[in-house]
């Protein structure tokens, strides 16, 4: 109180208190409460506004850094033109998706993306529908991150769009159930280009032209331009789409050295993580296809003979007591990949091993051939370690670029037939002498997976990423306003929450626990279907979540969940109960959780202020 204008009121209150306490005391209480609430909520509102603007500024700062890094190396790079091209690509891909025809987008999508769409199309066709997206509108496009590996620049763009999704019967054109909820959605699209490639003013892959000679693209079997024979998806001439991630599956990455990779690159300078991960993506989708067909053929050329022998046994129909085939066989279908994460390379003789973690989800299907497989409502969310082998000393084919499903010898597409050799040139493809092949798929919780990761960690001390090399790669170690720690994706945090809540209750979840989880899922833009798959997996003890390493990291993760909630407004009662329930698992009292929330609020606010300040500084310099 106090101050000129209020002094009359203050005297009045004092007079009431002294001479008429029966009126004065309640009045003071009422005014006091009123003052407290208006004051704190106005302050809270202002802080909230600033935090929101600050979060936008953090994204804008990250965007500015990525663009500056690209322009430094490629002076012709125009962000407006790039965004326009991304929009063209987005519309073309959505159109191809709805028409179940990849031909128009084939020139600019990687083999991994191609395999994924192809499999999803066969699933849709078997179930008798195609997708239709009405009223598709792109609301914004923004560069989210630029990373540079040894060979490729990877530009990740956030696309905010709106549409109404429908499933249309292929037979009679009527609506079918199962479409996504209508409304806004955000995706992160990652494009690769060879480092050193330069922007030209000519049309390129996305527009359907050869970026080398300008001719309209007619792809031959080897993915070359039929006019000039340039290998089109090498990333040497133009951007290639390698990954599409949902908002909840994405997180920014900070440069960190992976064990074994620098050592491998001494002998194989063209080895690149993005390339490796596209290859794993092809393996994942081929495994899904093998599961669906009940045949090992799709894996023949990308997995070792040992793995194929082992895995083909799992594809047999379950046998009855008389030895006769006895169905139905079950498998995971309608799969989605949440993300790939390379852990590193174990150098060895005679084979090197690359370890890549795959986060995925799916629904159980029942197959009783020759009938179409039938989907159940039973879901799964899991993490597996893909172990790839390659003969030590083999080098990456530098000119081959991102051609994960093409023969390294002749460039022909790797077909689905039962042979382990290229159909065109006869080169045996699955022995590791020509490139990386799949040796094992292990659940992350499997002892063998843990042994391999341990071996990887023991192998060499990780090479610290020095500021000098980061500068050369055009990356900034710590974007302003974002702590330089590894932030788990929202979906990983939710899985952890699901695990925490379900492990605490033996008799299944009650309504209020469900509400708590739904509140967090909604906050992170995770669909109720995805949450359902997680709950199914958790109930069967199969939800292989990442867990914090210790109480300190648990507190950090809990803090991230709080930040996600705070970024969307304020923490609800349900969310707070969830935080407390998770906290209990790590011996955090309600008081500790309350203090953590307060700290999180403050640091979010401070980061936002700092980012805004940085933004202003940048603006004043230009
Ligand atoms: Zn050409
Ligand atoms: Zn070949």
Of all residues in the chain, the percent with pLDDT exceeding 90 is: 36
Per residue in 183-203, pLDDT (tens digit) is 889 999 999 999 888 888 888
Pairing status of strand 240-246 against strand 183-194:
antiparallel
Whole-angstrom distance, CA of residue 298 vs CA of residue 301 = 7
| Residue 541, pLDDT score | 79
Q: What is the 411 CA–ligand 2 centroid distance (Å)?
A: 6
Residue 492: per-residue pLDDT: 87
Domain count, the chain: 3
Flag whether 15 is in a domain: no
CATH number at residue 238: 3.10.450.240
Ligand nearest, relative to CA of residue 219: 1
Query: What's the pLDDT at 412?
Result: 84
Q: Is the pLDDT of residue 460 over 80?
A: no
Whole-number Å distance, alpha carbon 424 to ligand 2 midpoint, is 5
How many Å lie between the centroid of ligand 2 and the Cα of residue 222?
A: 9
* Furthest CA-CA distance within the chain: 105
Q: Tokens for 614?
A: 């940085």
Give residue 479's pLDDT: 35
For strands 129-148 and 351-367, give the pairing: unpaired
Q: What is the pLDDT of residue 48?
A: 66
Residue 365 shares a structural domain with residue 421:
yes
End-to-end CA distance of the chain: 44
CA of 188 to the centre of ligand 1 (A): 29
402/509 same-domain check: no
Distance CA 214, CA 364 (A): 47
Q: What is the DSSP string of 230-244?
A: -BGGGSSSS-EEEEE
The token pair at 371 is: 């009938």
Ligand lying nearest the CA atom of residue 211: 1
pLDDT, residue 404, reads 79
- Note the pLDDT of residue 221: 64
For position 504, what pLDDT does the model report? 67
Both 365 and 450 in one domain: the answer is yes
Torsion angle (degrees, nearest 10) of CA 226, 232, 238, 242 = 140
Within this chain, do residues 403 and 533 fall inside the same structural domain, yes or no?
Answer: no
Residues measured by CB to lie within 5 Å of ligand 1, the ion: 210, 212-213, 215, 225, 227-228, 230
CA of 225 to the centre of ligand 1 (A): 5
* Shared domain check, 324 and 434: yes
* 47 domain-assigned: no
Ligand 1 center to 362 CA (angstroms)? 40
CA 314–ligand 2 middle distance (angstroms): 29
Ligand 1 centroid to 105 CA: how many Å?
17
Q: Are residues 377 and 269 in the same domain?
A: yes
- Ligand 1 centroid distance, CA of 385 (Å): 39
Q: What is the pLDDT of residue 560?
A: 85
Query: Are residue 388 and residue 530 in the same domain, yes or no?
Result: no
| Closest listed ligand to the CA of 400 | 2
Average pLDDT for 417-425:
88
Q: Are residues 414 and 532 in the same domain?
A: no
Residue 175 lies in a domain: yes
Band of residue 114 on the pLDDT scale cut at 50, 70, 90: very high
Give the highest mean pLDDT range of 83-92, 538-547, 586-595.
83-92
Predicted pLDDT of residue 33: 58
User: Measured in angstroms, how far is the CA atom of residue 401 from the centroid of ligand 1?
Assistant: 16
Q: Which of 323, 325, 415 is nearest to 368 (CA)?
A: 325
Does residue 386 have a pLDDT over 80? yes
Ligand 2 centroid–CA 217 distance in Å is 22
Tell whether omega for the bond before 80 is within 30 degrees of 0, i.e. cis. Answer: no
Identify the weakest region by mean pLDDT among 75-89, 112-126, 214-228, 580-594.
Answer: 214-228
pLDDT surpassing 70 at residue 462:
no
Q: CB of 250 within 8 A of CB of 145?
A: no
Closest of 617, 475, 564, 601 to residue 62, by C-alpha: 475
**Residue 425: nearest ligand to its CA?**
2
What CA–CA distance (Å, rounded) separates 453 from 455? 5
How far is ligand 1, taken at its centre, from the CA of residue 232, in Å? 8
Q: Which domain holds residue 439?
A: 256-472
pLDDT number for residue 481? 32
Q: Does residue 611 belong to any structural domain of this protein?
A: no
- Using the mean position of ligand 2's atoms as its centre, give its distance from the Cα of residue 400 in Å: 13
Ligand lying closest to the C-alpha of residue 427? 2
Ligand 1 midpoint to CA 61 (Å): 37
What pLDDT does residue 3 have? 40
Higher pLDDT, 222 or 169: 169
pLDDT at 34 over 80: no
Beta-carbon contacts of 343 under 8 Å, excluding residues fewer than 6 positions away, are 258, 259, 355, 356, 357, 385, 453, 456
The ligand placed nearest to the CA atom of residue 222 is 2
Domain boundary among 209, 236, 255: 255
Distance (angstroms) between ligand 1 centre and the Cα of 278 equals 24
* Ligand 2 centre distance from Cα of residue 283 (Å): 18
Please indicate, yes or no, if residue 484 is contained in any of the structural domains.
no
Mean pLDDT calculated for residue range 468-476: 33
Provide the pLDDT confidence category of residue 311 given band limits of 50, 70 and 90: very high
**If pLDDT is split at 50, 70 and 90, which confidence band does 465 have?**
very low
If asked whether residues 270 and 214 sit together in one domain, one would say no
* Least trusted range by pLDDT, from 44-48, 270-274, 306-310: 44-48
Tokens of 4: 């000129």
* 396 shares its domain with 421: yes
Task: pLDDT band for 472, please (50, 70, 90 cuts).
Answer: very low
Three-state DSSP state, 354: strand
C-alpha span between 159 and 90 (Å, rounded): 9
Q: How far is residue 422's CA from residue 417's CA, in Å, rounded to a whole number?
A: 10
Q: In this predicted structure, what is the pLDDT of residue 222?
A: 65
What is the model's pLDDT at position 109? Answer: 93
Let me know: does 332 contact 361? Beta carbons within 8 Å: no
Q: Per mean pLDDT, which range of 140-144, 325-329, 439-443 is the poorest?
A: 325-329
The yes-or-no verdict on residue 371 having pLDDT over 90 is no
Edge-to-edge strands, sheet with 329-346: 329-346, 351-367, 374-391, 437-443
Ligand 1 centroid to 146 CA: how many Å? 28
The pLDDT tens digits for 86-104 are 999 999 999 999 999 999 9
Q: Is residue 208 part of a domain?
A: yes
Least confident of 63-67, 142-146, 158-162, 311-315: 63-67
Q: In the predicted model, what is the mean pLDDT of residues 11-15? A: 62
350 or 550, greater pLDDT: 350
Residue 331 has pLDDT above 70, yes or no: yes
- Ligand 1 centre to CA of 208 (Å) is 11
Cα of 407 from ligand 2 centre, angstroms: 5
What is the distance in A from the centroid of ligand 1 to the CA of 447? Answer: 50
158: nearest Cα among 139, 136, 142: 142
CA of 346 to the centre of ligand 2 (A): 28
The Å distance, Cα 602 to ligand 1 centre, comes to: 56
Average pLDDT, the chain: 83
Instruction: Check whether residue 228 and residue 322 sit in a common domain.
Output: no
Q: Could you tell me the sign of the dihedral formed by the alpha carbons of 463, 465, 469, 473, in that order?
A: positive
Residue among 62, 27, 2, 33 at smallest CA distance from 480: 62
Regarding whether 306 and 268 lie in a shared domain, the answer is yes
Structure-block tokens of residue 568: 């969307």
User: Which of these three, 225, 255, 285, is where a domain ends?
Assistant: 255
- The Å distance, Cα 203 to ligand 1 centre, comes to 12
Closest listed ligand to the CA of 212: 1
Q: What angle do CA 57, 519, 593 make, to 5 degrees?
A: 75
Residue 173 falls within a domain, yes or no?
A: yes
Structure tokens belonging to residue 381: 């969310």
- Ligand at minimal distance from the CA of 423 is 2
Q: How far is the CA of 149 from the centre of ligand 1 (A)?
A: 27
Ligand nearest to the CA of 301: 2
Given 443, 472, 501, the domain boundary residue is 472
Of all ligands present, the nearest one to the C-alpha of 435 is: 2
User: Looking at the domain assignment, is residue 297 inside a domain?
Assistant: yes
């Amino acid at each position: 109180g106090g101050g000129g204008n209020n002094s009359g009121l203050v005297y009045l209150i004092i007079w009431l208190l002294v001479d008429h306490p029966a009126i004065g005391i309640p009045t003071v209480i009422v005014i006091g409460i009123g003052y407290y609430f208006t004051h704190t909520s106005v302050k809270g509102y202002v802080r909230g506004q600033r935090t929101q603007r600050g979060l936008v500024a953090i994204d804008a700062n990250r965007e500015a850094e990525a663009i500056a890094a690209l322009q430094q190396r490629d002076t012709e790079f125009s962000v407006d033109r790039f965004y326009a091209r991304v929009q063209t690509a987005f519309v073309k891909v959505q159109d191809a998706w709805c028409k179940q025809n990849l031909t128009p987008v084939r020139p600019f999508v990687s083999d991994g993306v191609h395999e994924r769409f192809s499999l999803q199309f066969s699933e849709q066709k078997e179930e008798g529908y195609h997708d239709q997206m009405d009223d598709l509108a792109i609301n914004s496009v923004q560069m989210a991150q630029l990373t540079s590996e040894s060979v490729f620049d990877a530009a990740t763009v956030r696309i905010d769009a709106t549409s109404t999704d429908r499933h249309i019967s292929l037979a009679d054109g009527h609506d079918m159930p199962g479409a996504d909820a209508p409304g806004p959605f955000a995706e992160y699209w990652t494009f690769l280009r060879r480092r050193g490639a330069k922007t030209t003013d000519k049309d390129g892959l996305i527009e359907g032209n050869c970026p080398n000679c300008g001719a309209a693209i007619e792809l031959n079997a080897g993915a070359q331009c039929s006019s000039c024979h340039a290998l089109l998806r090498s990333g040497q001439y133009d951007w290639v789409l390698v990954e599409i991630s949902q908002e909840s599956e994405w997180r920014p990455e900070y440069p960190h050295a992976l064990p074994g990779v620098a050592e491998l690159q001494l002998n194989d300078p063209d080895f690149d993580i993005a390339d490796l991960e596209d290859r794993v993506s092809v393996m994942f989708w081929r495994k899904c296809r093998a599961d669906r067909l009940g045949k090992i053929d799709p894996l023949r050329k990308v997995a070792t003979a040992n793995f194929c022998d082992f895995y083909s046994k799992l594809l047999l129909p379950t046998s009855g007591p008389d030895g006769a085939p006895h169905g139905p066989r079950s498998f995971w279908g309608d799969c989605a990949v949440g993300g790939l994460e390379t852990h590193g390379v174990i150098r060895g003789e005679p084979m090197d091993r690359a370890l890549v973690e795959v986060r995925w989800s799916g629904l159980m299907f029942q197959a009783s051939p020759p009938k179409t497989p039938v989907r159940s409502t039973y879901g799964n969310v899991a993490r597996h370690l893909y172990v790839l082998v390659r003969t030590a000393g083999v080098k990456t084919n530098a000119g081959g670029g991102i051609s994960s499903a093409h023969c390294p010898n002749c460039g022909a597409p790797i077909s689905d037939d039962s042979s382990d050799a290229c159909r065109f040139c006869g080169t045996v493809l699955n022995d590791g002498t020509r490139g990386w092949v799949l040796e094992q798929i292990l659940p992350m919780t499997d002892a063998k997976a843990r042994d391999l990761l341990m071996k990887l960690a023991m192998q060499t001390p990780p090479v610290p990423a020095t500021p000098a090399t980061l500068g050369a790669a055009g990356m900034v170690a710590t974007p302003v306003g974002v702590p330089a720690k590894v932030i788990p994706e929202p979906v990983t945090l939710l899985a952890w929450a699901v695990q925490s809540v379900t492990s605490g209750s033996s008799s299944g979840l009650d309504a209020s626990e469900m509400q708590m989880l739904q509140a967090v899922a909604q906050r992170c833009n995770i669909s109720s279907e995805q949450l359902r798959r997680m709950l199914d997996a958790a109930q069967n003890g199969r939800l292989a979540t990442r867990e914090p390493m210790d109480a300190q990291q648990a507190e950090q993760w809990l803090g991230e969940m709080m930040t996600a909630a705070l970024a969307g407004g304020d923490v609800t009662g349900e969310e707070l109960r969830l935080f407390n329930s998770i906290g209990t698992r790590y011996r955090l009292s309600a008081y500790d959780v309350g203090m953590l929330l307060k700290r999180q609020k403050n640091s979010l606010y401070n980061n936002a202020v700092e980012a805004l300040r940085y933004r202003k500084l940048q603006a004043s310099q230009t």
